[in-house]
């Protein structure tokens, strides 16, 4: 990796399945070294598809991927299969959403981690096991020696997620892709995992892309937040900018729909009306238009990308009007 290049540079990324379903539609994203960016949005907004595209995990025969992806200055789309095998795990690693499915059920977690290390580095099995043990200690798995010899189903959800983090860190990558790593965990364990990731980032200088539908988790861990809707980033900025001064109606809707943001105890949550669009028949212009409280005729055309403040960008015809309407939602979220 080039030491001068950003950790991640994505421009014009598109991902199309079956020739007609465009799940990601022109995503631009930049992540500096040592930073965390959170991709947030409803299910089906393209977050996980974007993440997998960064590692070229989509089946090539059924997926068309366009645009440019550079990791540490390296062109990921130009990598050969051999280079790609070395790239995955060593330069960029991924924490999958459900570790019980990501781990092979017929091998112990320790064996899987040692094999990952030995695949990328010429070390002995004993040295690889020693590193796996050190990783288990680092991610605070109790009785790490015994847990190394456990099968995935023998670990609790929280320990499996910690083991998945250890596996992702096994070959010392510089970029970590986390696909909703706290979704299946209870609230206490979620906080523990978020704090662990933040601590590891500081210690190891990791750059992290964190996918979540939980705005609270995004605020807890991220330097920057990118809001995705229908395969596009509709708003991006620092965590403080997105939460305190949102300029897109969809971001405002997400803030208002949080239980923590209710201004009155017992008050009904203000849900976003309707549902996400069918990406195989995407509406023209702004895809959020059918659900937007500010929609008007010009929203049938693609919205301009505006910069309400340095470091913040929003794709909306009504950015200023939306910001005014969103003050109450952002204030409530900030208090929460």
pLDDT, tens digit, 9 for 90 and up, residues 96-105:
888 888 899 9
Strand partners, 29: 10
| CA distance to 187, 244, 262, per residue, from 265 (Å) | 20, 21, 7
Residue 230 lies in a domain: no
152, 172, 192 - which closes a domain: 172
CA–CA separation, 316 and 223 (whole Å): 23
Q: Give 155's strand partners.
A: none
The verdict on residue 235 lying in a domain is no
HEC secondary structure over 214-275: CHHHHHHHCCEEEEEECCEEEEEEEHHHHHHCCCCHHHHHHHHCCHHHCCCCCCCCCCCCCC
Q: How far is CA 85 from CA 76, 105, 119, 193, 244, in A?
A: 11, 22, 10, 28, 42
Q: Do both 10 and 54 map to the same domain?
A: yes
More confident residue, 182 or 123: 123
Q: How far apart are CA 278 and CA 21, in angstroms?
A: 9
Q: What is the mean pLDDT of residues 65-70?
A: 96
pLDDT score, position 3: 65
State the angle between helix axes of 157-169 and 187-204 in degrees (0 to 180), rounded to the nearest 10: 20
- Rounded Cα distance between 327 and 325, Å, is 6
* Same domain for 307 and 254: yes
Statement: residue 324 has pLDDT above 60: yes
Are 64 and 188 members of one domain? yes
pLDDT tens-digit series, residues 241-279? 999 999 999 999 998 887 655 455 666 777 889 988 988
What's the pLDDT tens digit per position in 8-21? 999 999 999 988 89
Task: Please name which of 166, 221, 175 lies closest in space to residue 199, comparing C-alpha atoms.
Answer: 221
Same domain, 211 and 295: no
Which structural domain, as residue segments, surrounds residue 111?
Answer: 97-172
The Cα–Cα gap between 324 and 317 comes to 14
Q: What is the pTM of this model?
A: 0.89
Angle between helices 157-169 and 125-138 (to 10 degrees): 130
Domain identity same for 300 and 159:
no
Residues 188, 64 within the same domain: yes
Mean pLDDT of the chain: 89
Place of tokens 């500010």: 294
Percent of the chain with pLDDT over 70: 93
Q: How far is CA 164 from each of CA 47, 51, 195, 201, 301, rounded to the nearest angstrom?
A: 20, 17, 16, 16, 44
- Domain-embedded: residue 237: no
pLDDT confidence of residue 151: 96
Shared-domain flag, residues 1 and 60: yes
Is residue 219 within 8 Å of 242, Cβ to Cβ? no
Query: Same domain for 131 and 147?
Result: yes
Same domain assignment for residues 145 and 289: no
273-320 pLDDT, tens digit each: 998 898 888 888 999 999 998 999 999 999 999 999 999 999 999 988
Q: Looking at residue 336, what is its pLDDT?
A: 46
On whether residue 320 sits in a domain, the answer given is yes
Domain boundary among 155, 188, 222: 222
- In this structure, are 126 and 193 located in the same domain? no
- The pLDDT value recorded for residue 335 is 44
Whether 41 contacts 228, CB under 8 Å: yes
Looking at residue 187, its pLDDT comes to 81
Task: Give the pLDDT confidence score for residue 333 in this predicted structure.
Answer: 47
Q: Assess whether 110 and 192 both reside in one domain.
A: no
Is 231 contained in some domain? no
Closest CA to 303 of 316, 318, 314: 316
Q: Which residues of 13-25 are buried (b: 16+ CB within 10 A; e: fewer)?
A: bbbbbeeeebbbb
In a domain, 139, yes or no: yes
Q: Which two tokens stand for residue 149?
A: 């010899």
Whether residues 73 and 183 share a domain: the answer is yes
CATH number, domain containing residue 67: 3.40.50.300
Q: Within 10 Å of residue 195's Cβ, how many Cβ atoms?
A: 12
Domains held by the chain: number: 3
Q: Which of 137-141, 143-147, 210-214, 331-335 has the lowest mean pLDDT?
A: 331-335
Domain boundary among 172, 190, 207: 172
Of 36, 68, 28, 63, which Cα lies nearest the Cα of 49? 63
């Amino acid at each position: 990796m080039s030491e001068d290049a950003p950790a991640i540079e994505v421009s014009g990324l598109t991902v199309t399945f079956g020739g007609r379903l465009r799940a990601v539609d022109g995503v631009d994203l930049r992540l500096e070294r040592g930073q965390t960016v959170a991709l947030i949005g409803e299910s089906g907004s393209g977050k996980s598809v974007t993440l997998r595209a960064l590692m070229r995990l989509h089946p090539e025969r059924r997926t068309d991927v366009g645009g440019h992806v550079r990791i540490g200055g390296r062109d990921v789309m130009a990598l050969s299969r051999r280079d790609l095998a070395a790239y995955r795990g060593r330069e960029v690693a991924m924490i999958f959403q459900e570790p019980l499915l990501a781990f092979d059920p017929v091998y112990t977690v320790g064996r899987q981690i040692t094999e990952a290390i030995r695949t990328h580095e010429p070390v002995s099995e004993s040295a690889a096991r020693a590193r796996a043990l050190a990783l288990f200690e680092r991610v605070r798995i109790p009785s790490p020696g015994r847990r190394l010899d456990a099968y995935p189903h023998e670990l609790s959800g929280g320990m499996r997620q910690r083991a998945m983090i250890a596996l992702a860190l096994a070959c010392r990558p510089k970029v970590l892709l986390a696909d909703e790593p706290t979704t299946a965990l209870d609230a206490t364990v979620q906080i523990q995992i978020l704090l662990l990731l933040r601590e590891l980032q500081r210690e190891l200088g990791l750059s992290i892309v964190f996918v979540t539908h939980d705005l609270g988790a995004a605020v807890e861990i991220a330097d920057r937040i990118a809001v995705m809707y229908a395969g596009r980033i509709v708003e991006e900025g620092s965590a403080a900018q997105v939460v305190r001064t949102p300029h897109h109606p969809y971001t405002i809707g997400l803030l208002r729909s949080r239980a923590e943001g209710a201004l009155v105890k017992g008050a009904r949550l203000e849900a976003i009306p309707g549902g996400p669009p069918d990406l195989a028949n995407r509406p023209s212009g702004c895809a959020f238009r059918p659900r937007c409280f500010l929609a008007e005729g010009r929203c049938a055309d693609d919205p301009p990308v505006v910069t309400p403040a340095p470091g913040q960008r929003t794709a909306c015809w009504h950015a200023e009007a939306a910001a005014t309407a969103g003050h109450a939602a952002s204030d409530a979220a900030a208090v929460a």
